[in-house]
Amino acid sequence: MKIIAGVDIGNSTTETALFRLEDETKYKFISSSIVRTTGIKGTVGNISGIIDVLKEAAQKAGIVINDIDLILLNEATPVIGDVAMETITETIITESTMIGHNPSTPGGVGLGTGNTVDIRDLDKHEDEKVICLIPREIDFEEAAAMINTALEKGVDVQGAIVQKDDGVLISNRVKKNMPIVDEVSEIHKVPKGMPAAVEVARPGETIKTLSNPYGIATVFNLNSEETKMIVPIARALIGNRSAVVIKTPKGDIKERKIPAGTLTIVGERNSLLINIQEGSEKIMETVEKLWPISDVKGESGTNAGGMLERVRQIMSEITGQGLSSIKIQDILAIDTMVPQKIRGALAGEFAMENGVALAAMVKTSRLPMEQIARKLKDELGIDVHIQGVEANMAVLGALTTPGSDIPIAVLDMGGGSTDAALMNKERKVTSIHLAGAGDMVTMLINSELGLNDIGIAEDIKRYSLAKVETLYSIRLEDGTVKFFAHPLKPELFARVVLLKENVMVPLPTDHSMERIRNVRRRAKREVFVTNAVRALSIISPANNIRHIPFVVLVGGSALDFEIPDMISDSLARYGIVCGRANVRGKEGPRNAVATGLVLSYISGR
């Protein structure tokens, strides 16, 4: 009797399956386990995670780790994926002062124009159009009284910029309707005596004049060249309920160009240079045209160039191989939105620029896996074999799913990469590894929603949403309403929440539930559906995806509550039967490679 452990080292998790081999043909599965991968997949940093997962599985089986006779590893060469955001266009950012931060309590409504004046100096500006600046030390009652007095003296107060959140309180007390933007924390930086425009839209509406470059040009009497300069400002204000634009002195206006950069995509026969300005569709068309890819290089001094070189450097350090031998084997480009900070902004405003998200994958030699095997054997005193190629093992494990048969394709969707393998009727396996998976989805959500928190973005990816409409009801993202017998926590009222296990978690963002849902679903579709079709097209006979009858989904992302349905819907038009695996009829989409390793060993004896 012999106990064998199959160990699958993935980008995010390390899994094991323990089998008891009773004779040449008789075997029995006894336990499985899963832990977070330690280190980068395929490097000696994986050792501690392997030992942890083996200990856990052994404990479940009622044995100790030393009872294991043989450890089988997948022949996974080190793969590293990384992502970078790169702007598509050469963005001109104007260092004129602007405010457009959508405060929660703007006052009044309409558009007001005039020169900026400290509220304490209003009486010096009779018969002038002015925008008054109200610092923190002046409370709302005093401010309203000062404005009313100035209006009686003939000062044409057109609007106000307030440091505190007193917009509505001041608006309710002044004798004239005027737009008031509040919560401007750095009001001391607002230049005085400069032409300014303040706009506040009606509740439920958005501003129209200051979000339009020609509207700003009309207000400030700009020529065509100056109008080009303020396009980023207008774009940054689109969708806001309130905004302020101030024309600064000529000497204060500067421009800064952010180069979009280029990528050099190297194929086996030739290479092509493509500007990131052309967008993700053109980049991926170039990748497809040159496939298979030998390497990808980014322009020095750009985000993309830095990211690709960082990937090479990290892999070189952990494997001991020279930089020249580290090649990028695939990239995935996706159009997205990148927040760019507006220079001269006084409330942390950002312009959402069109951008490209890039995921890159590096593959090195088999040597590091041999290092893992030797070190693991030295530490545990257990024989360790590198059993077979990861994709082949995944197919063998997936074939234990009830209802599956060959020819069959497996999509292994993890954190860093999307892998696919096809076993034909002759049991020959073709496989491919592509850049981009769960980690890229998280990055896109984080960027497009402006969260600056990967943890929150990860939760948004994993869980469905709801809007708390009353203290006794929530509206789920599918439109249905759920009622509760007991009141919900007051802090949840009117908030968008994540429906985690038995708890509602409010999201620290003002985005609507519909906006968050759309961003989440688009990110998943762009990454997983795109890569699923790419991968299956590459491995299918004659590159015709319709020749594949069955597709089984495995890996952590196959557990997602919507990704499998998206992929199934996309593949349905090709007549493909697609669904989650159920390894050995009990594990679901997990444990396919670990199980396949043991089955491969048994069948090959």
By percentage, how much of the chain surpasses pLDDT 90? 56
CATH number of the structural domain spanning residue 329? 3.90.470.30
Q: Total structural domains in the chain?
A: 3
Joined tokens for residue 338: 């990148």
Cβ proximity of 209 and 240 under 8 Å: no
By percentage, how much of the chain surpasses pLDDT 70? 90
Joined tokens for residue 579: 């669904």
Does residue 510 lie in a domain region? no
What angle (nearest 5°) sits at the alpha carbon of residue 598, between those of residues 536 and 74?
55
Does residue 341 lie in a domain region? yes
* DSSP bridge partners of 335: 356
* Least confident range of 96-105, 187-196, 239-248: 96-105
What is the reported pLDDT for 100?
A: 53
Is 144 in the same domain as 227?
A: yes
Is 150 in the same domain as 190?
A: yes
Is 129 in the same domain as 1?
A: no
The pLDDT of residue 258 is above 80: no
Range of the domain at 142: 96-253
Q: How far apart are CA 103 and CA 248, in angstroms?
A: 23
* Least confident range of 2-11, 117-126, 234-243, 381-390: 234-243
CATH number of the structural domain spanning residue 164? 3.50.30.70
Is 355 in the same domain as 385?
A: no
Is 384 in the same domain as 316?
A: no
Is 149 in the same domain as 216?
A: yes
Q: How far apart are CA 110 and CA 112, in angstroms?
A: 7
Is 116 in the same domain as 225?
A: yes
What is the reported pLDDT for 251?
A: 40
Does residue 116 lie in a domain region? yes
- Summarize the confidence of residues 442-465 as an average pLDDT: 92
Is 382 in the same domain as 356?
A: no
What is the reported pLDDT for 99?
A: 55
What is the reported pLDDT for 445?
A: 93
Residues 6 or more apart whose CB falls under 8 angstroms from that of 266 comprise 290, 293, 294, 295, 296, 297
Q: Are strands 70-75 and 383-389 parallel, antiparallel or unpaired?
A: parallel
pTM: 0.77
Total residues belonging to the chain: 605
What is the reported pLDDT for 366?
A: 62
What's the distance, CA 578 to chain centroid? 26
Is 48 in the same domain as 142?
A: no
Cβ proximity of 436 and 483 under 8 Å: no
Does residue 9 lie in a domain region? yes
Q: What is the pLDDT of residues 525-534, one digit of tens each?
A: 999 999 999 9
Tell me the CA distances in angstroms from 310 to 276, 317, 330, 364, 368, one per residue in order: 19, 11, 15, 15, 19
Q: How far apart are CA 420 and CA 391, in angstroms?
A: 7
Tell me the CA distances in angstroms from 433 to 141, 298, 351, one per residue in order: 66, 21, 35
Catalogue the long-range contacts made by 523-526 (C-beta closer than 8 Å, 24 or more residues apart).
523/440, 523/441, 523/444, 523/445, 523/448, 523/461, 524/441, 524/461, 524/560, 524/562, 524/563, 524/566, 525/566, 526/334, 526/335, 526/444
Is 151 in the same domain as 25?
A: no
E-strand ranges in 364-478 read 383-389, 408-413, 417-423, 429-435, 465-470, 473-476
Burial of 78 (0-12, 13-18, 19+ CB in 10 A): buried
Q: Are strands 417-423 and 429-435 parallel, antiparallel or unpaired?
A: antiparallel
Is 116 in the same domain as 9?
A: no
Could you say which of 363, 378, 412 is where a domain stops? 363
Does residue 502 lie in a domain region? no
Could you say which of 196, 229, 253 is where a domain stops? 253
Residue 351 pLDDT class (50, 70, 90 cuts): low
The pLDDT of residue 104 is above 80: no
The pLDDT of residue 352 is above 90: no
Q: What is the pLDDT of residues 545-595, one digit of tens each?
A: 999 999 999 988 999 999 999 999 999 999 998 999 999 999 999 999 999
Does residue 241 lie in a domain region? yes
Does residue 350 lie in a domain region? yes
Q: What is the pLDDT of residues 541-552, one digit of tens each?
A: 888 899 999 999
Q: For residue 318, count other CB atoms closer than 10 A to its CB.
A: 18
CATH number of the structural domain spanning residue 379? 3.30.420.40
Q: Containing H/E element for 2?
A: strand 2-9
Is 371 in the same domain as 354?
A: no
Does residue 536 lie in a domain region? no
The pLDDT of residue 78 is above 60: no
Q: What is the pLDDT of residues 123-173, one digit of tens each?
A: 899 889 999 999 999 999 999 999 999 999 999 999 999 999 899 999 999
Could you say which of 253, 279, 297 is where a domain stops? 253
